[in-house]
Structure 1
Amino acid sequence: MAAARRVFARDGFEVARLQDIAEEAGKTRGALYSHFANKEDLFFALIEEHIAADGEFYRTRLTPESSREEKVAALVDHMEAMLCDRKRVMLYLEFKMYAIRHPHEQERLAELHSALCMKGMDAKLHLVPELFEPNSEKRRAIIAAFGAVLDGLALNLYFDPGALSREEVRSRIEQMVRERVA
């Protein structure tokens, strides 16, 4: 998984080859195929790994009795940390660009991505029930709105690192979180 993360971040999702990932991991391509059907399958496994780590972060920081301010602080800290993880940012942005460049696959890939993100959101609902939205279309819109802000911040942070201060980035994230965690 670490090798896949490095190769995807270095080469991009589209250019990355399973052969390159296998070599980076010191394994054979056959070994990869014994665990993953294709490159997409491996990518989604990485997202699931991130979601599991995200859930662990919230479980260590929050309880169902946590105050609104504790919830806001945990969400902001986590989103800021995600933006600082260059490999994770590159992985997500590159995958979205791949989907955009392949419109015949875009809807399917967006659905898969959304389902995984909803799974991640659902995992923290008992800790941050303010994120709950019973309507699945509205829930998807909330996830997309969070993603849009984070993607925009990530693009600008890595494109022009000196343009936004850490305080400005944190302020934008906090504003978004406070709007949702009422």
Structure 2
Amino acid sequence: MPVSRAKPRKRLTREESQAQTRAALIAVGRKHFLRYGLGGAVAEKIAEDAGYSRGALYSNFGGKEELFVAVIQEEQAHRLDFFRSLLKEEPSGKKRLKKMRDAIAELMTDHDWIVLRAEFEVGALRSERIRQSFVEVHRQQIRDGGDLIRDLVKAPDVTSKLMPDDFIAVIINLAHGLAVTQRILGAEQSQRSTRNLIQSLFDHLISSA
């Protein structure tokens, strides 16, 4: 009877190995930042739990703060991809608008995103390095979100009271501030109230005929 042999594992290129290391550190770092906060998370412990040395973290990110920014950037990229695919699947301007509204309301009541965004804001107030990263991420978020709204208002039955970039800035800042407060209050009813208020704000600023 022939002996079956396992296929030899493909040797990763240097770029693939680095990408794998970065992905693992980002995933574990995200868990630590959610649990301990940016100030409480420990770089060495993150690296250890990810299965790497302290040096691996510092060679890929330069430190805990840079890893945290990478976590935020990955979150932003995932959200943007989600919104783009969500709108791409729906040809109706009115339905696209409703999908966008409901998705934003869900995002702004997502516990993990609320915590990470709040940590990012606090970090930006305390660290000039993080503040600079916050500015870059925020500007990119406005550009990307503005593009989504610009695409929405191309539909003849959709109108906005604000310019696309201004609309996104209002939604991001007011909705997130509301979500943080309601999350601290803690009641399930508060979360529903947050979702309803965000949806109402959205409908007030942009609507369909």
TM range, smaller chain:
0.7 to 0.9
Q: Which residue of 2 aligns with 1:59?
A: 84
Residues 133-172 of structure 1: matches in 2 within 5 Å? 133=163, 139=165, 141-162=166-187, 164-172=189-197
Does structure 1 retain, via aligned residues, the 8 Å contact 2:28–2:50?
yes
* Partner Cα distance (2:192, 2:152) in 1: 24
| 2:136 counterpart letter in structure 1 | L
1:62 match: secondary structure: helix
Query: Match of 1:114, as an amino acid?
Result: H
Counterpart pick for 1:116 among 126, 130, 140: 140
Question: Distance between the aligned counterparts of 2:37 and 2:110, measured in 1?
Answer: 16
Contact 2:97–2:152 (CA under 8 A) maintained in structure 1:
no
Instruction: Give the conservation status (yes or no) of the 8 Å contact 1:76–1:170.
Output: no
Q: How far apart are the structure 2 equivalents of 1:24 and 1:96?
A: 26
The 8 Å contact of residues 157 and 163 in structure 1, kept in 2 or not, is answered as no
TM-fit CA distance, 1:105: 5.3
Structure-2 separation of matches of 1:105 and 1:30: 21
What's the TM-score once normalised by structure 1's chain length?
Answer: 0.76
Q: Work out which of the two has the higher radius of gyration on C-alpha atoms and give 1 or 2.
A: 2
Number of residue-to-residue matches in the alignment = 176
- Partners in 2 of 1:53 and 1:75 — Cα distance? 15
Q: Which amino acid aligns with 1:156?
A: T
Distance 2:198 2:93 in 1: 16
1:29 partnered with 2:29: no
Structure 2 unaligned blocks of 5 or more: 1-25, 155-159
Aligned partner letter, 1:180: L
Q: Percent identity?
A: 27
Is residue 28–residue 49 contact of structure 2 (8 Å, CA) maintained in 1? yes
Compute the TM-score of the two structures, normalised by the length of structure 2: 0.68
Higher relative contact order (CA 8 A, sep 6+): 1
Listed as ranges, the gaps of 5+ residues in structure 1 are none
**Relative to 1, partners in 2 of residues 1:45 and 1:120: Cα closer, same or farther, differing over 3 Å?**
farther
* 2:110 pairs with one of 85, 91, 108: 85
Output one character per residue of 1:140-182: Cα deviation in whole Å (capped at 9) or x when no partner. Answer: x544322222322322332122274454222211122223334
Cα 1:99/1:162, change in 2 over 3 Å = same
